[in-house]
Amino acid sequence: MSSNKKLFIQTLGCQMNDTDSQHIAAELEKHKDYSQTDKMEDADLIIINTCSVREKPVQKLFSEIGQFNKKKKEGAKIGVCGCTASHLGKDIIKRAPYVDFVVGARNISKIKDVVDIKGSVEIDIDHDESTYEFATAKTNKYRASVNISVGCDKKCTYCIVPSTRGDELSIPPEMIVDQVQKSVDMGAVEVMLLGQNVNSYGRRFSDGREKSSFTKLLQEVSKVEGLERIRFTSPHPLHMDDEFIEEFARNKKISRCIHMPLQSGSTSILKAMKRGYTKEWFLNRTEKIRSLVPDLRITTDIIVAFPGETEEDYQDTLDVVRQAKFDQIFNFKYSPRPGTEALKLADIEVPDEIGSARLIELIELHKRHLEAIMPTYVGQTLNVLVESLKPNGEICGFTDNYLQVFAKGSDELLGKFVNIKITDNTRTSLKGEIVQ
């Protein structure tokens, strides 16, 4: 049955927000008869789902909703959801009175109840969203994202997430497995398990059941028939104990690409960030995992110019980057966030121009690494899961260790694994020819 009510959702921010947006759309479709449109001007309801991890998304939110308000069709409603909603709450409506409702990152299960109530604000970070059965979200045909926990118990001193998403609660394993099964039934072959700190999974369930572990969850999820590849983000290096690393190495369904967010290579800055590990622990973990997993690729997050970061601290970060040989780095310049502990360190903030110079140097260092590493794939034959077909007739897919590969192909190959002999490379992707 097609609906007359149209929903337009704009997502700002991280992968977690993308999945939340899918849930919002699925809930509104199931309970309120909305169908999605990609034309904002046609929408009866416009939702902006936000992130407030760094400063820019907040500024972007207000400029974006201002534009929506000017261009929206008459009578269309505007809702603000996500982390920025949790953090700014009713101030959003004060600053932008045309906004109809505000729903925080841990309250999206309430969307169907508030959508018709002008002025409603739902931002309770203690809300138990871990056992709410969301309507099945639409997935990219071959990939699904499944949340495994809500909130975060770590209190990294720079991070706004614990104050916008609350304490960590694990989603019961049977609900996760069921969601993975449903996604596979809808055509997915790969699943991305999502949480702010996935590998602390199982510490606390809202129904008080016995503790479990991420390793056990991986074992359960990998039993789902038809599921070929498991990925997860974001794990915390502190919880990468030997049991976890050994499961990662042993379980053939787990993608050989792991995210290991370093944040800083300096032990004293890591202490000030309350990350709970040292430079040496981090390097020991990367060495252990590389020694057990052939062709492993490692991605990371790094923050430069955390308050008090000296040149020596920064050199420690560069040292870890050289030793760990990351395959992808998400680089950030420290951004002071409201309500975080690091705000108290304002008197030792690193001057902005020094922060920018450090960021540029780090990016350059990484570019040189990629220029050295990517050509080494030329001549190799790689197994690729084909996910899309470009208008120019090229297929695009990813290897088990998450290298992006292009080749001439056809739509018959979509969703299949093919062998591709690599003939060319850029810094971020590979090109090749399909072989038998």
Which of residues 68, 326, 334, 406 is near ligand SAM by CB under 6 A?
A: 334
Residue with Cβ nearer ligand SAM (256 or 337): 337
Angstrom distance (rounded) from CA 19 to CA 169: 17
If one counts every other C-beta atom within 10 angstroms of the C-beta of residue 61, the result is 25
Under a CB-based contact definition with an 8 Å cutoff, are residues 113 and 1 in contact?
no
The verdict on 158 binding ligand SAM (CB under 6 A) reads yes
Residue with Cβ nearer ligand SAM (44 or 301): 301
Q: Determine the Cα angle at 95 with ends 94 and 96, to 5°.
A: 95
The verdict on 314 binding ligand SAM (CB under 6 A) reads no
The verdict on 201 binding ligand SAM (CB under 6 A) reads no
The pair phi, psi for residue 228, each rounded to 5°, is -105, -30
Q: Which does 162 bind (CB under 5 to 8 A by kind): ligand SAM, ligand SF4, none?
A: ligand SF4
The verdict on 301 binding ligand SAM (CB under 6 A) reads yes
3-state secondary structure of 86: helix
Residue with Cβ nearer ligand SF4 (71 or 155): 155
Which of residues 277, 332, 398, 406 is near ligand SAM by CB under 6 A?
A: 332
What letter would DSSP give residue 132? -
Angstrom distance (rounded) from CA 410 to CA 134: 35
The verdict on 53 binding ligand SAM (CB under 6 A) reads yes
Q: Determine the Cα angle at 54 with ends 8 and 105, to 5°.
A: 50
Q: How many alpha carbons lie under 13 Å from residue 323 in its C-beta half-sphere?
A: 16
Residues 204-263 interacting with ligand SAM (rule: CB under 6 A) = 234, 236, 261, 263
Q: How distant, in Å, are the alpha carbons of 33, 35, 355 from that of 45? A: 12, 10, 40
The verdict on 87 binding ligand SAM (CB under 6 A) reads no
Residue with Cβ nearer ligand SF4 (139 or 163): 163
Residue with Cβ nearer ligand SAM (125 or 303): 303
Which of residues 137, 303, 405, 420 is near ligand SAM by CB under 6 A?
A: 303
Residue with Cβ nearer ligand SF4 (153 or 178): 153
Q: Which does 303 bind (CB under 5 to 8 A by kind): ligand SF4, ligand SAM, none?
A: ligand SAM
Rounded to a whole number of angstroms, the minimum distance from the CB of residue 346 to ligand SAM is 13
Q: Which does 301 bind (CB under 5 to 8 A by kind): ligand SF4, ligand SAM, none?
A: ligand SAM
Rounded to a whole number of angstroms, the minimum distance from the CB of residue 395 to ligand SF4 is 35
3-state secondary structure of 263: strand
- Structure tokens of 344? 């108290």
Binding segment toward ligand SAM, per CB under 6 A, in 106-114, 211-219, 247-255, 332-340: 332-340
Residue with Cβ nearer ligand SF4 (155 or 252): 155
Is the dihedral angle over the CA atoms 376, 381, 385, 391 positive or is it negative?
A: positive
Binding segment toward ligand SAM, per CB under 6 A, in 249-257, 281-289, 327-335, 393-401: 327-335
Using CB under 6 A as the criterion, which residues of the chain lie in contact with ligand SF4 when the complex forms? 152, 154-156, 159, 161-162, 196-197, 236
Rounded to a whole number of angstroms, the minimum distance from the CB of residue 298 to ligand SAM is 13
Q: Which does 332 bind (CB under 5 to 8 A by kind): ligand SF4, ligand SAM, none?
A: ligand SAM
Amino acid present at 211: K
β-pairing verdict for 328-333 and 429-435: unpaired
Amino acid present at 125: I
What letter would DSSP give residue 222? T
Which of residues 161, 193, 194, 224 is near ligand SAM by CB under 6 A?
A: 161
Is the dihedral angle over the CA atoms 196, 199, 204, 209 positive or is it negative?
A: positive
Q: Which helix (H) or strand (E) holds 407?
A: strand 404-408
Angstrom distance (rounded) from CA 232 to CA 195: 8
Whats the size of the chain, residue-wise? 436
Paired residues of 101 in beta bridges: 79, 120
Residue with Cβ nearer ligand SAM (187 or 276): 276
Q: Strand order of the sheet with strand 120-122?
A: 34-36, 5-11, 45-50, 77-82, 101-104, 120-122
Phi-psi category of 356—alpha, beta or left, where left has phi over 0 and alpha has psi -120 to 50? alpha
Which of residues 145, 196, 266, 286 is near ligand SAM by CB under 6 A?
A: 196
Rounded to a whole number of angstroms, the minimum distance from the CB of residue 254 to ligand SF4 is 21
Rounded to a whole number of angstroms, the minimum distance from the CB of residue 166 to ligand SF4 is 11
Q: How distant, in Å, are the alpha carbons of 107, 130, 250 from that of 213? A: 25, 16, 16
Residue with Cβ nearer ligand SF4 (138 or 204): 204
Binding segment toward ligand SAM, per CB under 6 A, in 133-141, 177-185, 277-285, 333-341: 333-341
Q: Which residues bind ligand SAM (CB under 6 A)?
A: 14, 53-54, 158-159, 161, 196-197, 234, 236, 261, 263, 301, 303, 332, 334-335, 337
